[in-house]
Structure 1
Amino acid sequence: MEQLTVIQRLGHALRTQRAEREFGMDALARMLEGYLPEDQIAQVRRAAEFAKNMHEGQRRSSGEPYVYHPLAVARILAEMRLDHTTLIAAILHDVIEDTGISREQLAREFGEDVAALVDGVSKIGKMEGRTRAEMQAESFRKLLLAMTQDLRVILVKLADRLHNMRTLGAMAADKRRRIARETLEIYAPIAQRLGIYFIRTELEDLAFANLYPRRYSVLMQSIKAQLGDTRKLIREVEQQLSSALRDEGIGASVVGRQKNLYGIYQKMRRKKMKLLKVTDLLGFRVIVGKVDDCYRCLGIVHHVYKPVPGEFSDYIANSKSNGYQSLHTSCIGPSGHKIEVQIRTRDMHHVAESGIAAHWQYKLGERDSQGAPQARAREWVRGLLDEFGDTSAVDFVENVKVDLFPDEVYVFTPRGEIRRLPRGATPVDFAYAVHSELGDHCVAARVDGQLEPLNSLLKHGQTVEIITARHARPNAAWLNFVKTAKARASVRSYLRTQREDEAVRLGRRLLEIALRELHVPATVLKDEERLAPVLKAHQLADVEELFAAIGAGERLAALVARHFLPEGTAAQAETGAAAPLAIEGTEGLVLDYAHCCYPLPGDEIRGHVSVGRGIVVHRLDCKHAKARPQDWVPLSWSERVEGDFLTEIRLKVMRKRGMLAKITAEIAAAESSIENLQMPDRAGSEAVEVRVLLTARSRMHLARVLRRLRRVDGVERVLRV
């Protein structure tokens, strides 16, 4: 036991020495000397000493003293050349949460700016909620709220997450997977959205290795086997391009790399490709001095290596939303290997690697323009919070995730204005991107002068014109194809409002019928004295909420109506036969038609009150309509009933050529539409059963359809299911 203790102590000592060499304050100070003055480095040293004293005795899971973690976080930010205030906040980012130091004490020691940053990072870590998904979602919402106050909060949090991922090996396997999944779903996309390339790619690869270690290992070995000696191949391309650019008088640096494994893995999944089909495994960056040189360099690259048609993007003229600018082209390199070449200036490269952090040293009030990535990022975050701030934490995260992935297309309005949309966006997304009113009333789209369906996918450079109608409204089917969070949220908001309005109307009708059965006048619904105890008993704010709850199936009208009886008469009340509720077919979302029996106007029907679905209509002879009579409400068809209703029929037909065509033609001639058709293959049998789901306006209309089908030669039997 004593020997084991000595070994453990020796291991801790070795790890501590290694951490001191790599992440100690002296190592950090040497980095800071390159861009910070001495007085600011001294303040960073004082913060490191303060953190060391506060974290005294605390150790990480790996065994080294805890203080090396915040120092490592500060080192990551120093590599991004961030200001000394951010570095101090990084060094102190855990003292409020882990040592009991108050925000006020921190402000007295290091200033209000540092205290605000540390407090912002600490609040993100305090998750609230019942389930893990809710806790993660609430934490994410807090992260974005903190970003609206000071974007440096997210820079510290991303650096914190990056170092945690680098040292994840000391954790248990299930905890590693959970943290890795959260990193892929939230932190890596945010780093990408803010343009911090090196953090995003390292987070992705580290998370990939911990979440899917077997896939990571197999993919790495396969790429090594496919490319062979990548260093030799990369060196060859670097030399050829550098020589060609030098001959043309362009000073440039050419750097090659193998693309990150997670990006390759995602491409294979997205395009359902095998690794052998993924050819662009190598990427090269050409860094030049001026924008003009970028376009000259592009011509030289295409002269040295044959370009791949259709694989060129100009992100200099059309920069990405996170400020990223570069020319992208794909070429056929040595030995037939496909390579990607990115061409940019030094300033563009700085932004591409560090995103908003690249501009932080220029954040001096007046110089922070709307075009800077910082301002764009802050505008993006505020827009998200304005759009989805009132939703639940989990819905908020689902909506925001749509905007976190920056694969984009650029399309034009009829006036020539550029609109940036995610890849896979449709005209409906475009309409909502222009204005919510335009989206709410769109009925069609004209793309490059041609009418296109609303679910068609938009492509780079297209001009989109939205056609509207005054009475048009969002359609629930749009949720199946819209891509942007704004479009999805707007459609859902409309449907939710529509459902509530319909529930109120239906609930009022149900309650009035229930009151009439008890011989209670409907005027009691306007009597505040009679209404107050009923609302209190059901914990509702007003009569509108009561109607909505009844219409949505959350309350039974018959039970609510009994609360309006004079005291002492509820138990003895004798009710006559229930007056049926008349169904018009236009009740919308709060009325559903059972798929077990498919009722039609003309059928005898009854309704089942279902929470969340409102009233579900069944035929009276349906086997499901006979259970628990107390849960059912009497229904009838209104004389004004309208619309098409689904119903199902079954046919037995002879196995003859052209039978299916005859059946579908007769159904169409009877003014009915086929929604679904099933014909199981019964090999060897002379007759086959066909099941058809079709539309009918009424029982009489269905009878006409059946008569036409029975007259078809080869149809032996037709019946309604």
Structure 2
Amino acid sequence: MDGPVEDIHLAHAAEFFLKQIAHHNDALDLSLIRRAFEFAANAHKNQYRQSGEPFQVHAVEVAKILAELRMDTFTVCAGLLHDVLEDTTVTHGILSAEFNETIAELVEGVTKISHIPLKNTEEVQIETYRKMLVSTAKDVRVIIIKLADRLHNLRTIRYLNAAKIDRIAHESLNVYVPLAHRLGMAKMRWEMEDIIFKHLHPADYERLLNKVVETRSDREKEIEHVRALLTDLVHKNNITARIVGRPKHLYSIFKKMSSGKSFEDIYDLFAIRIVTEEVLDCYKILGIVHTTWIPLQHRFKDYIATPKSNMYQSLHTAVIGPQGRTLEVQMRTEEMDRIAEEGVAAHWVYKEETGHSERVKWLKELSDLPRDLTNHDQFMEFFKIDLFQSEIFVFTPKGDLIQLPKGSTVLDFSFALHTDLGYQCVAGKIDGKAYPINTVLKSGVTIEIIKAKFQTPSPSWLNWVKTSKAKRDIRYWLKQKSFQHTVALGKELFEREVMKLHIEENITEKLQRLFPHYKMEDMDQFYHAMGNGDIPILTVLDRLFPEKHLFKSKNPSFLRKLVTRKRKSASQSGLVLNSTEGLPIYFGKCCQPLPGDKITGYLIKSKGVEIHRNTCTSGMMLMEKDSQQVHIGWDPSVALNYKIKLQVIAYSGRYLLSDITRAFSDTLTTILHAHVKQIGTLAYHTFLVELSNRHHLNKVVRELRRIREIRKISREMIFKEDVYED
């Protein structure tokens, strides 16, 4: 009878497993883990994987990975049991009774993140990702177990058929690798990436592996020379440190080569890591490195003072090392080193934090993605946008540090502070100077948001933001709020014009009589149509009060003037006004817009619509004075000339003015006025010229640039000049 023999084998296997994991963490409760081992072995009895191995082997390997991460007893037990709810008859209640509710919850959390079936709809994929995020947001140990599970599945992926290998590899690259990165689990991420690389690009993998092997011996000798030199320098300064070479994994080399860099350029870099006992020693070693070799400008990063959001801390620098080769040096403490490689798992051990750590609150935000987001590509954009990108660090006026993805704008910053602030953002003061909302931010700047209560989001904002929060908030407003906003705008504009006609009666009933004519069902729909410009307000008023002869009066009212000037300005300005019918148009003298410039219209009470370039601070400041933004664009069918002031600064020369006027003549540009002022050797020319559009301006600038004496050409603006310098 083989029952007793199997029990002996099981006991030996359990004993061997317990010795292995105790080596990594002597604080584990081995008796509880033994029970979990035996329970899982019995539950998975007679179950085998595609490799032919008993299923229990996979459970044990997952638990080993968790033990290597020094996870707690409950997590290691859950690793052993992570498949019993899905693949056996064991229930949540049985697990809870046999062990405890925490272990049962962890196993159930992993079970809910079930693998995505091969034939799967996009909606099911989205819901799978969402479940993973929700489970993880409750207890971060869930995703650590799932990542260990996925890592071992990748280690044994070679036993699967080609279709499954392709699906699992791509899913791992798109979902699990970014999650490992965001959780700071670099060691696990690197191994997953290299396995995926090997199976998705086998030829590239083998070719790159051979190149690395060929150059390894010489490279290791050079790194050892640098390591010995640094060890001597550190010890002379009475600092205890561990100094090691930092290997580059294959997938990172492949990615850099894919962007156009050669293998020699990438692999020529020396990378050294110095691990110390104290934070102060990191800065002392930085001083030693910088006084020994010449540091490279703009390559120093202090992630100790400003940690990355995945908890990573280290000092980074690059210097011109021995033999003139670039040497990259990282300096951090032992604790920082573990967190750098194991991320949230190491942080769990050091800080004994619960699953609701502030460090992983982004998971909760990510799990709250809009429920109506069912387009797969859109969801994956939201899903990955906060997972796998570089970061910048900026400050509020009070000195609070805000972390944002690289490429974030003023608008991203405003939404990061508060959703309502984002909705009302019209500009931002960066280190005291005003900039438009789509300005890309750099690390270290201080930003103050300029807001206006009448500001509202527009679809173009989605092109100006980087963070998923900003995108989510803007999409929500556009879908949920724009209708109500347009209704309110239509009502306000209508009532304003009624007041100008000195009509005091209640006209709601009269408006309702027009419903059939305009095919409206209620007042909100009517006001929305007027606010959107679909129904001209003046046409409605003319139907309501024909006795006022709004379009026939010999002495036109203000409304009559508006319509007349609108019609006139539409043909004279070359603009298309998409809403707010019946308003005159004015160009901002401060920024001198030209067709081809990106522009914004601002509705100003008792005046009309004033047009400014998007980069003009005068226009943005109008929002603080209760003006309303209006969607407006250039009419390509209208060809007109516009008066623009250009400033040209040049070194004085005998034929300079003649050359400049010839440049204007060659580009068919009319000079209306010219002024020259001499200051030292420089001549400051101001020209008032007629230009047809931005393209015409660019032609003029190119022609002027041919004149060697010219140093600077600018279109004058209050906010920010268009500058063309040599």
Q: Same fold (TM over 0.5)?
A: yes
Of 464-473 and 196-205, more deviation after overlay is shown by 464-473
- The superposition leaves residues 602-634 of structure 1 with CA deviations (integer Å, 9 ceiling, x where unpaired) of xxxxxxxxxxxxxxxxxxxxxxxxxxxxxxxxx
SS of equivalent to 2:238: coil
Which residues in structure 2 correspond to 1:315-394 (within 5 Å)? Answer: 315-361=303-349, 375-386=357-368, 388=370, 391-392=373-374, 394=376
SS of equivalent to 1:662: coil
Q: Report how far residue 363 of structure 1 moved.
A: 6.3
Alignment partner of 1:191 out of 173, 180, 185: 180
Alignment partner of 2:198 out of 178, 186, 209: 209
Q: Report how far residue 486 of structure 1 moved.
A: 1.4
- The superposition leaves residues 640-677 of structure 1 with CA deviations (integer Å, 9 ceiling, x where unpaired) of x99556345899xxxx99899338999x9999756899
Q: Report how far residue 413 of structure 1 moved.
A: 1.7
Q: Report how far residue 154 of structure 1 moved.
A: 0.6
- The superposition leaves residues 654-708 of structure 1 with CA deviations (integer Å, 9 ceiling, x where unpaired) of xx99899338999x999975689999xxxxxxxxxxxxxxxxxxxxxxxxxxxxx
- The superposition leaves residues 369-424 of structure 1 with CA deviations (integer Å, 9 ceiling, x where unpaired) of xxxx9713332222333464664474444213111124111112222221111111
Which residues in structure 2 correspond to 1:217-256 (within 5 Å)? Answer: 217-224=206-213, 229-256=218-245
Q: Report how far residue 297 of structure 1 moved.
A: 1.4
SS of equivalent to 1:451: strand
Aligned to 2:667: 661
Q: Report how far residue 107 of structure 1 moved.
A: 1.7
Aligned to 1:403: 386
CA–CA separation in structure 1 for the residues paired with 2:490 and 2:117: 36
Q: Tell me, yes or no, if structure 1 residue 83 matches structure 2 residue 78.
A: no
CA–CA separation in structure 2 for the residues paired with 1:39 and 1:258: 32
CA–CA separation in structure 2 for the residues paired with 1:385 and 1:374: 14
Q: Is the 8 A contact 1:331 1:338 kept in 2?
A: yes
CA–CA separation in structure 1 for the residues paired with 2:527 and 2:456: 24
CA–CA separation in structure 2 for the residues paired with 1:40 and 1:458: 50
Distance 1:321 1:505, change over 3 A: closer
- The superposition leaves residues 198-255 of structure 1 with CA deviations (integer Å, 9 ceiling, x where unpaired) of 1111112222222222233333334455666332223222222112211211111111
Distance 1:544 1:113, change over 3 A: farther
CA–CA separation in structure 1 for the residues paired with 2:62 and 2:665: 73
- The superposition leaves residues 343-370 of structure 1 with CA deviations (integer Å, 9 ceiling, x where unpaired) of 1111212222222211334666xx76xx
Q: Tell me, yes or no, if structure 1 residue 139 matches structure 2 residue 147.
A: no
CA–CA separation in structure 2 for the residues paired with 1:473 and 1:85: 50
- The superposition leaves residues 5-32 of structure 1 with CA deviations (integer Å, 9 ceiling, x where unpaired) of xxxxxxxxxxxxxxx99x9544431233
SS of equivalent to 1:33: helix
CA–CA separation in structure 2 for the residues paired with 1:108 and 1:92: 14
SS of equivalent to 1:207: helix
Aligned to 2:279: 291
SS of equivalent to 1:309: coil
Q: Report how far residue 71 of structure 1 moved.
A: 0.6
Query: What amino acid maps onto 2:472 in structure 1?
Result: A
CA–CA separation in structure 2 for the residues paired with 1:129 and 1:176: 11
CA–CA separation in structure 1 for the residues paired with 2:133 and 2:407: 26
Query: What amino acid maps onto 1:384 in structure 2?
Result: L
Aligned to 2:569: none
- The superposition leaves residues 72-95 of structure 1 with CA deviations (integer Å, 9 ceiling, x where unpaired) of 011101101111111111111111
Alignment partner of 2:144 out of 155, 173, 189: 155
Aligned to 2:461: 478
Which residues in structure 2 correspond to 1:489-568 (within 5 Å)? Answer: 489-497=472-480, 500=483, 525=521
CA–CA separation in structure 2 for the residues paired with 1:137 and 1:378: 21
CA–CA separation in structure 1 for the residues paired with 2:448 and 2:183: 31
Q: Report how far residue 312 of structure 1 moved.
A: 0.9
Q: Is the 8 A contact 2:290 2:319 kept in 1?
A: yes
CA–CA separation in structure 2 for the residues paired with 1:196 and 1:324: 10
SS of equivalent to 1:325: coil
Q: Tell me, yes or no, if structure 1 residue 428 matches structure 2 residue 411.
A: yes
SS of equivalent to 1:409: strand
Q: Is the 8 A contact 2:269 2:326 kept in 1?
A: yes
CA–CA separation in structure 2 for the residues paired with 1:301 and 1:524: 75
Aligned to 1:559: none
- The superposition leaves residues 160-217 of structure 1 with CA deviations (integer Å, 9 ceiling, x where unpaired) of 0111111111122232222222212211111111111211111122222222222333
Q: Report how far residue 120 of structure 1 moved.
A: 0.7
Q: Is the 8 A contact 1:52 1:67 kept in 2?
A: yes
SS of equivalent to 1:116: helix
Aligned to 1:176: 165
SS of equivalent to 1:414: coil
Q: Is the 8 A contact 2:578 2:631 kept in 1?
A: yes
Q: Is the 8 A contact 2:48 2:54 kept in 1?
A: yes
Distance 1:673 1:436, change over 3 A: farther
Alignment partner of 2:189 out of 193, 200, 203: 200
CA–CA separation in structure 1 for the residues paired with 2:293 and 2:689: 62
Which residues in structure 2 correspond to 1:624-643 (within 5 Å)? Answer: none
SS of equivalent to 2:240: coil
CA–CA separation in structure 1 for the residues paired with 2:578 and 2:275: 64
Query: What amino acid maps onto 1:309 in structure 2?
Result: Q
Of 423-432 and 489-498, more deviation after overlay is shown by 489-498
SS of equivalent to 1:419: strand
Q: Is the 8 A contact 1:359 1:374 kept in 2?
A: no
Distance 1:499 1:246, change over 3 A: same
Distance 1:280 1:665, change over 3 A: farther
Query: What amino acid maps onto 2:402 in structure 1?
Result: R
Distance 1:227 1:545, change over 3 A: farther
Q: Tell me, yes or no, if structure 1 residue 93 matches structure 2 residue 93.
A: no
Q: Report how far residue 585 of structure 1 moved.
A: 5.3
Q: Is the 8 A contact 1:124 1:139 kept in 2?
A: yes
Q: Is the 8 A contact 2:579 2:631 kept in 1?
A: no
Q: Report how far residue 146 of structure 1 moved.
A: 0.5
Query: What amino acid maps onto 1:435 in structure 2?
Result: H
Structure 2: unaligned runs, 5 residues or longer: 1-8, 492-511, 533-575, 581-629, 641-661, 673-687, 700-726
Q: TM-score, normalised by structure 1?
A: 0.66
CA–CA separation in structure 2 for the residues paired with 1:482 and 1:71: 45
- The superposition leaves residues 481-501 of structure 1 with CA deviations (integer Å, 9 ceiling, x where unpaired) of 321111222222222235545
CA–CA separation in structure 2 for the residues paired with 1:28 and 1:676: 77
CA–CA separation in structure 1 for the residues paired with 2:251 and 2:265: 16
RMSD across aligned C-alpha pairs, in angstroms?
A: 4.3
Query: What amino acid maps onto 2:447 in structure 1?
Result: V
Q: Is the 8 A contact 1:422 1:483 kept in 2?
A: yes
Distance 1:137 1:232, change over 3 A: farther
Q: Is the 8 A contact 1:147 1:378 kept in 2?
A: no
CA–CA separation in structure 2 for the residues paired with 1:39 and 1:341: 36
Aligned to 1:512: none
Aligned to 2:97: 108
Query: What amino acid maps onto 2:463 in structure 1?
Result: N
Q: Is the 8 A contact 1:426 1:483 kept in 2?
A: yes
Q: Is the 8 A contact 2:177 2:193 kept in 1?
A: yes
CA–CA separation in structure 2 for the residues paired with 1:507 and 1:463: 38
The alignment covers a number of residue pairs equal to 544
CA–CA separation in structure 1 for the residues paired with 2:489 and 2:465: 30
CA–CA separation in structure 2 for the residues paired with 1:676 and 1:413: 41
CA–CA separation in structure 2 for the residues paired with 1:642 and 1:141: 36
Query: What amino acid maps onto 1:54 in structure 2?
Result: A
